[in-house]
Amino acid sequence: MKSMFLCALAAVALPGLALPGSAFADDDDAVCTKEPKSAWMKPEEAASKLQEAGYSDVRTVKVAGTCYEIYAFTTKHERAEVYMNPVSAEIVRAEIDD
């Protein structure tokens, strides 16, 4: 009975653990948009949009999969790696280092 419960628990929990990281398992596999690159804003525009969102000192904007991967700092001077939709400027993910 106990093993059936553990199997059922694993069947429910394990797929959920895989989902959050699957979209960003590798930076080049990141999915932010399905639009062609001709529809993307320029990297300078993405940097400006990120500054409007409260980030400062944008260092690098590069393409990672279908996202812009942007390195900048937060207002608390923490390093940030931000993944942005290059069409809508939506921040898809932000990793903050202390």
The 10s digit of each residue's pLDDT in 35-88 is 999 999 999 999 999 999 999 899 999 999 999 999 999 989 999 999 999 999
pLDDT value at 94 more than 80: yes
Whether the predicted pLDDT of 11 surpasses 80: no
Q: What is the pLDDT of residue 29?
A: 63
**How high does pLDDT run on average in the chain?**
79
pLDDT number for residue 13:
44
Residue with tokens 């790696």: 81
Phi, psi of 86 (to 5 degrees): -75, -5
